[in-house]
Amino acid sequence: MSNLGLGPGREFDRLRGILARLGNAARDIGDDCAVIPDGPGRLVVSVDLAVEEIHFRRDWLTLEEIGWRAASAALSDLAAEGAEVVAVLTGVAVPSAATDEDLYALMAGIGAAAVAAGGVVSGGDLSAGERWVVNLTVIGRARRPVTRGGAMVGDGIWVTGALGGARAALEDWRAGRVPSPLARAAFAHPIPRIAAGVALADAGAHAMLDLSDGLGGDAEHLAAASGVRLEIDLDLLPIHPAVPDVVKAAALPPAMFAAIGGEDYELLVALPPRFRDEDAASFTRAVGLGLTRIGEVRQGSGACFTLAGTPIVIRGYNHFE
């Protein structure tokens, strides 16, 4: 942490406190702008807004976890573009009842997620507010940015990791139960798939997005952006190990539960037909993450799901319904 170079005042004391807490997780803070380091590839940027009572609840998560999760959700958009992390900037509204330590805990969570993903916190803004609001701006660099719009007929549809873990924790909390540690970790401590995104871009991914809204909704987005139809076999879905215990209470087939559940932050990717199971095995050895073929791209529109050979309807989650 360098000399911050701010005048006196409580707001600036808080900024100094944040920087002391962030240590090497922060860089170049305190000017009107942060200067982005030069480098190869295209710069990409994304914004993600998390609002108390909408995206998180203080009685479910610690403020450090809230910071980690908000930052990781944003960083996941860089992963979905095949980008490495360059910089993270925060806009935080702080309730008047919050202590300095509350704010430092939130920022420590953001800083830890930034560093774990290969970035630093490079700037931001603080405001008073009635509720916690955490806006994350993430900037990355991609040799070959992968959009949602390039899926081609014949591509395989693949997904990283396993689905439904975050939703399992939510289901428990909403029912007044304490989530299992595994489910809680999936919700509180998601890992943005940065290395996986870069590896999939290098492997020739045609289209990619992260499963923030759940497979049901996000598969529709990929289909719409690419002008194709996605046919997904839910019997192939990799299901998070926390799901079976929770799903009895939810009275849903585990695969349907996992397909509806959002906020897993795994990657959904269209890979050309030449990408085979042995390539997926190489990917897993290199990145340490599963990669499962769950369907393919056809002519048409929309996302179609089958379970045990029967067509079913899956909806995504969105904040205005």
Distance CA 118, CA 114 (A): 6
Amino acid (one-letter) located at 1? M
Residue 224 binds to its own copies (criterion: CB under 8 A) = yes
Amino acid (one-letter) located at 57? R
Q: Which residues inside 124-183 make contact with its own copies, applying CB under 8 A?
A: 124-131, 133, 135, 137, 139-140, 145, 147-149
Are 52 and 132 in contact by the 8 Å Cβ rule? The answer is yes
Least distance to its own copies, CB of residue 123, Å: 6
User: What is the Rg, in whole angstroms, of the alpha carbon atoms belonging to the chain?
Assistant: 20
Distance CA 43, CA 232 (A): 32
Which CB, 90 or 292, lies closer to its own copies? 90
Q: Tell me the C-alpha to C-alpha distance, in Å, between residue 74 and each of 90, 91, 227.
A: 11, 13, 26
Per-residue interface string for the shown chain with its own copies, residues 18-47, x marking contact by CB under 8 A:
------------xxxxxxx-x---xxxxxx
Q: Give the closest residue to 200 by CA, choosing from 111, 261, 289, 113.
A: 289
Number of residues that bind its own copies (CB under 8 A): 78
Least distance to its own copies, CB of residue 295, Å: 16
Which CB, 116 or 267, lies closer to its own copies? 267
Are 260 and 314 in contact by the 8 Å Cβ rule? The answer is yes
Reduced to 3 states, what is the DSSP secondary structure of residue 150? coil
Least distance to its own copies, CB of residue 167, Å: 18
Q: Which residues inside 43-82 make contact with its own copies, applying CB under 8 A?
A: 43-51, 53-55, 77-78, 80-81
Residue 117 binds to its own copies (criterion: CB under 8 A) = no
Least distance to its own copies, CB of residue 273, Å: 23
Least distance to its own copies, CB of residue 70, Å: 11
